Amino acid sequence: MAAQAQPRTLFDKIWASHVVAELSGGVSLLAIDRHLMHDLEAGAIIKRIADRGLRPHNPELTFGVPDHAVATDPRRRANSTPNSERLLREMKEGSDAFGITYFDLDTEGQGIVHVIGPELGLSQPGMTIVCADSHTCTHGGLGALSFGIGATEVAHVLATQTLRQTRPKTMRVNFNGKVAAGVTAKDLILATIGKIGTGAGRGHAVEYAGDAIRAMSIDERLTVCNLSIELGAKIGMIAPDDTTFEFLAGRRYAPQGDMFERALGYWRGLPTDEGARFDVEHSIDVDKVAPQVTWGTSPQDVIAVDSRIPDPSRESDPQRRKAMEAALAYMGLAPGAAIEGTPIDWVFIGSCTNGRLSDIREAARIVAGRKIAPNVRAWVVPGSEATQRAAEREGLDKVFLSAGFEWRKSGCSMCAGVNGDIIAPGQRSVSTTNRNFVGRQGPNARTHLASPAMAAAAALSGCIADARKIG
């Protein structure tokens, strides 16, 4: 009898099945199944490849969509922002010349690249998926090995349909227990980053596991994986299961009919084997997690909404202490104060983290029949055109509009701030996005990351508020 095969992780299996060649120094030449492009650099990179006399190796495996620079004004056009006119034109022309599918504005394919990938069924279990955006880790929520790359790597993928990558170590984060009422996937992953740190996942492919993950919808899994890069890991993934397969069945670019059954057989073999070894393991007691909100300028600067802003003078590491002091000064917050009740100016609901239909529903549930506080501006920017249309079919646009929110068109908007959607200096936002970095939402803008429910609660209250007390 043959020796029992070594138990393998989800990551091990996908990596091994994509090795084209082993190069020296632990570097592998990896086949890439899906390459997604967005408007920020696509046109320039396509031009660079063409200028070099190269053609795309597999144009049918690359898909492009404008999201970063596009306006979100309800009456937008391709030329609505000074940047988008040129970026979209160059991207569309380059895509046409190369035979790359381009999802244009006002079609159901348009949206934030990490929202439309899963939504269209382009992202599937067992795939390698790359895009010139660090939140490409999102697609790992479907059981894919997906990661962000730089511009030179994009050119490499286009020209060869491969990438040279150093094999990362593996990490598993186990979410044990039952999630308390009013606590969301966003809260779980923010609490994880707060506990183990924004550099903890560096050099690792992270798998999220445990009962709480199994109980999650695909939207929630995508939110968890989305913040992997904020944990330092460029790869985050969740083993596919029946929830995944039901999500994919019938989607436009998912396998159809007999081919779906064939793919299903393959997908069922992907989850981590019993007894497989990870280089690092962490556990999170899910039942102890409360709604989270950030207080500083790194996603790890996060606390439960009912707790107090940390005091740098109690921090023993001098480097960390100075960073905390700088963060509090930038945020205009006092150590030791309650974070709940901090007055805010802006609420932003959207992004590849929390711009999907279930996020919009979660916020609408809190907003329904209420009004936002005076002096607060609040936006909902659906993650995709299809998400927007689906929400409108449910009447959710009217829920937000009658509460005083603006209901806008899909794009990265105020998460990336490329398209001019930014917050004035010194103003404070509660945002369902992924980065509270210095200047991320505009020069000297102050960002508090939180869930859609928490953002909705803040819009109604005019201050940082506990969604559990409102919902």
Partner 1 sequence: MEKFTQLSALAAPLMRPNIDTDAIIPVKRLIGYQRHELGAFALEPYRFRADGSENPDFVLNQPRYRGAKILVTAENFGCGSSRESAVWALMAYGFRCVIAPGFGDIFTNNAFQNGLLLIRLPREEVDRIAEELGGAPSPAMAIDLQSCTITTPAGRQLEFQIDGERRQALLEGRDEIAMTLLRDADIAAFQSHDRVARPWIYQTVPPAA
Residues 84, 67: contact at Cβ < 8 Å?
Answer: no
Task: Tell me whether residue 148 or residue 355 sits nearer to partner 1 (CB atom).
Answer: 148
Cβ distance to partner 1 smaller for residue 57 or 282: 57
User: Which helix H or strand E contains 323, and what residues bound it?
Assistant: helix 318-331
Q: Which of 67, 41, 69 is nearest to 119 (CA)?
A: 67
Q: How far is the CB of 323 from partner 1 (least distance, A)?
A: 6
Between the alpha carbon of residue 265 and those of residues 12, 241, 260, 434, the distances in Å are: 18, 12, 9, 35
CB of 79 to partner 1, least distance (A): 14
User: Minimum distance between the CB of residue 442 and partner 1, rounded to whole angstroms?
Assistant: 9
List CB contacts of 4: < 8 A, sequence separation 6 or more: none
Please, which residue, 193 or 459, has the CB nearer to partner 1? Answer: 193
442, exposed or middle or buried, with CB in 10 Å at 0-12, 13-18, 19+?
buried
Nearer to partner 1, 10 or 286 (CB): 10
**Min dist. Cβ of residue 454 to partner 1 (A):** 22
Q: Which residues contact 428 (CB under 8 A, 6 or more apart)?
A: 331, 332, 342, 343, 344, 345, 346, 446, 447, 448
- CB nearer to partner 1: give 122 or 390: 122
Which C-beta is closer to partner 1: that of 232 or that of 291? 232
Nearest distance, CB of residue 353 and partner 1, angstroms: 14
Q: How far is the CB of 284 from partner 1 (least distance, A)?
A: 21
Closest separation between CB of residue 443 and partner 1, Å? 7
Whose CA is closest to 8, among 118, 122, 126? 126
E strands, 90-153, are 101-102, 128-131, 145-148
Using the minimum distance from each CB to partner 1, give the nearer residue, 125 or 271. Answer: 125
CB-based contact 189:224 (threshold 8 Å): yes
Nearer to partner 1, 348 or 405 (CB): 348
- Terminal-to-terminal C-alpha distance of the chain: 60
User: Which residues are paired to 449 by β-bridges?
Assistant: 431
E strands, 15-132, in order: 19-22, 27-31, 34-38, 62-65, 101-102, 128-131
Q: Which two tokens stand for residue 279?
A: 């280089």
What is the nearest approach in angstroms of partner 1 to the Cβ of residue 146?
12
